Structure 1
Amino acid sequence: MPRKGENIFKRKDGRWEGRYIKDRDLSNKAVYGYLYGKSYTEVKQKLERVKSHKASCNILSANFAKLSEEWLENKRLCVKESTLAHYKMIIGKHILPLLGKYDVSAVSLDVVQQYMNRLLLYGYAVKTANDILTVIKSILRYAERKGFHHNCDLSIISLKAHKSEVEILTLFEQERLCNYLVNNLNDKNLGILLCIYTGIRIGELCALKWSDIDMGEKVLSVNKTMLRIRDNYSEQHGSKTKIIITPPKSEDSIREIPIPNFVINILKNFRRNPDAYVLTGTETDFIEPRSMQYYFKKVLKKCGIRSVKFHILRHTFATRCIENGFEIKSLSEILGHSSIKITLDRYVHSSMDLKRKNMEKLDFLSA
């Protein structure tokens, strides 16, 4: 039986055995190491030397940069490639320049808070700052599981976004754009028209193939998206970014969208090989989101419409649906949202015309 708190045993073969915690796995479960000697005193001295050496090594190896690399390597096994690339960018661009030189025990709330404030002051989006903060918190939790203690409680940092009205096309702009697209139909213009009447994202459009459109059922299936991401192996490949086609980031984004009849009639005239991309009409060539954005800007210029981002089509689609009495739950599912609240808070713009129509419903009170 070991002496209290020492983990030193006498074995059946007469030797003494000492046990110590050598490491901890990702679930914080202890991984033990063992030492042996001819006497209790010999084993105790060996344990003290190992523990002393381990303590000094822990102090040296608790560098935040090193732990960030370990955390990222562990994430490689459980997240999508695009997510890993996002984490890698955040760590390389924001976290290592800020905290890379620190030991975990020296990371302070003031340093992180001041950096968050500076990001917002320089015009970074609140979501970007929150993404950076989330990764820092996750790395600190990983450090705790590894046995490195710190006194940096980041839970008190709260970054709240100021709610702003989303930008949409006016009815005049939308009508003008649609007339141009219908009168100048090609593969890319057809794609823009699809976005106006289905609300799909630009990445989903770029990955869309003709096999995803069921003409008989009049349904468009969204099951993948195209992204340009940082190449996680760029050192070997000599390229900093690459294009990937991957399932959407959430299960809710995998969805089927009914297609209006007049759009189906247009699609029938453009039907291609099922394996061909909708935007190119070929199986091998595709158009990436960045190139599609550039093309969209050119179309807007030809239409005499102000320069806006492609994503405005999604905002516009959602708004027009609301203005025409669309049932919110159905709209939320069409947009691929996980909840109705996201649809209402983020994408649905309440126009002045809609507000005026609702206020006019109160006219009966004056009768």
Structure 2
Amino acid sequence: MVSRSSRNHRLVLYIACVYKIGSCRSSLCDFFPQNGKIFSSIMLERRAKMKYKDWLEEWLKNYIEPTVKARTFIRYSDILKYHLIPKLGECEMEEITPLVLQHLITELLQSGNLRTGKGLSANSVSGIINVIQGSLKTAFRLWYLKEYTADRIKRPKIQEKAVSCFSLQEQKKIEQAVLASKKEKMFGILLCLYTGLRIGELLALKWEDIDIQKGLLTVSRSCHDAKGVDGHYTRFEDTPKTFSSRRVIPLPKQILPLLRTAKKNSTSTYIVAKDGKPVSVRSYQRTFELLQRKIKIPHRGFHSLRHTFATRALECGMDVKTLSEILGHKSPTVTLNRYVHSFMEHKQDMMNRLGKLL
């Protein structure tokens, strides 16, 4: 006669086989409280020896790809391919300890850049940590780990970069060079200076997104460059990453005649185009770099056009809530934190004006 404990053990084993992936760490143990320890040990025994690379591939395919945008999936895939699988892929799940992860973080900070052999930035390493923690947290929830310990690792401190914008004199040089150019793609630089668009938003912008008569610009798409398995970059378009990035921007009336002329001369459905075709992010960044060399001003990244717009807006007295909505920030707090120095200059100017009344 088979004992009751033996029957219970086989029942739990059957459940463990049926629920191969699992849905909740506690649900089945709650349902069979008397066999919770047995169930837990069976599940962990079956999975603790799994290689981390096998779990990463499972996690990426079934838990990440269906839930994120294409650009995020590509970024995660690259992190797995170039950093996690080569370094930790052969480790068993139970071997991924905080100490092992901390050693990896140190290595990435010292020599993680595969192209130059130098260290990765703290921001890049933080992104890799997010992937590690996300994969292990899901593994713990689905019984692949006895406990979740990846939150015990120490993140590198990210240094906030100072906001860099063009001076009024430099801005005038840029505007003059753009207006003097006969290339249709150059107009986008001027548009960024007066709307604060991100480069991906600008390059995904079509003429149908601008109502010249009403003076309104609608941001509903963004583009980016993604590196394929062959090493070449491909242009991708998608909806903006956040809800706040989807917005309608009122255009300065002074720019509307320029828009009409640009639209009349355009050979593309895209506002920024070359030979009638849309332009990639990397290509347009290079275009802007060459323009700065030509007019002999200090080199700054394309994002400095957005910072310049924000700075000029503050100088003109625009309130932070309006500026935040135009920039597509999640909240005015983000705008305040990012442009704190510009706000201080604005405050000093206001106080100086007040002082003149005394």
Q: TM-score range by the shorter chain?
A: 0.7 to 0.9
Map of 1:334 onto structure 2: 326
TM (norm. structure 2) is 0.82
- Percentage identity across paired residues of the two chains: 31
Hey, what's the Cα distance between the residues in 2 that align with 1:245 and 1:77? 17
Instruction: Structure 1 unaligned segments of length 5 or more: list them.
Output: 10-15, 32-47
Hey, what's the Cα distance between the residues in 2 that align with 1:54 and 1:176? 67
Hey, what's the Cα distance between the residues in 1 that align with 2:269 and 2:151? 49
Residue 120 of structure 1 deviates from its aligned partner by: 3.8
Hey, what's the Cα distance between the residues in 2 that align with 1:312 and 1:219? 23
Matched, 1:99 2:88: yes
1:64-103 to structure 2, matched below 5 A, reads: 64-74=52-62, 75-103=64-92
Matched, 1:138 2:154: no
TM (norm. structure 1) is 0.80
Q: Is the 8 A contact 2:201 2:222 kept in 1?
A: yes
Q: How many residue pairs are counted as aligned between the two chains? A: 336
Matched, 1:215 2:212: yes
Residues 44-87 of structure 1: CA deviation (Å, up to 9, x unaligned): xxxx9xx9997765343x21111000000011112111111010
Residues 347 and 243 of structure 1, relative CA distance in 2, 3 Å threshold: farther
Map of 2:273 onto structure 1: 280
Q: Is the 8 A contact 2:285 2:302 kept in 1?
A: yes
State which drifts further: 104-113 or 343-352.
Answer: 343-352
Q: Is the 8 A contact 1:319 1:349 kept in 2?
A: no
Match of 1:206 among 184, 197, 203: 203
Q: Secondary structure at the match of 2:323?
A: helix
User: 1:129 corresponds to which letter in structure 2?
Assistant: V
Structure exhibiting the larger radius of gyration computed from Cα positions: 1
Match of 1:111 among 100, 103, 108: 100
User: 1:266 corresponds to which letter in structure 2?
Assistant: L
Residue 123 of structure 1 deviates from its aligned partner by: 4.7
User: 1:183 corresponds to which letter in structure 2?
Assistant: A
Hey, what's the Cα distance between the residues in 1 that align with 2:144 and 2:8? 22
Higher strand share: 1
Map of 2:308 onto structure 1: 316
1:5-154 to structure 2, matched below 5 A, reads: 6-7=7-8, 19-22=14-17, 23=19, 24-28=21-25, 57-60=46-49, 62-74=50-62, 75-121=64-110, 123-151=119-147, 153-154=149-150
Hey, what's the Cα distance between the residues in 1 that align with 2:141 and 2:247? 38
The root-mean-square deviation of aligned C-alpha atoms, in Å, is: 3.3
Q: Secondary structure at the match of 1:147?
A: coil
Residues 86-130 of structure 1: CA deviation (Å, up to 9, x unaligned): 100111122123321211111121222233244345553332222
Residue 182 of structure 1 deviates from its aligned partner by: 2.3
Hey, what's the Cα distance between the residues in 2 that align with 1:17 and 1:348? 59
Q: Is the 8 A contact 2:164 2:307 kept in 1?
A: yes
Residue 190 of structure 1 deviates from its aligned partner by: 1.1
Q: Is the 8 A contact 2:16 2:43 kept in 1?
A: no
User: 1:209 corresponds to which letter in structure 2?
Assistant: K
Matched, 1:262 2:254: yes
Higher helix share: 2
Q: Is the 8 A contact 2:43 2:143 kept in 1?
A: no
Hey, what's the Cα distance between the residues in 2 that align with 1:363 and 1:119? 53
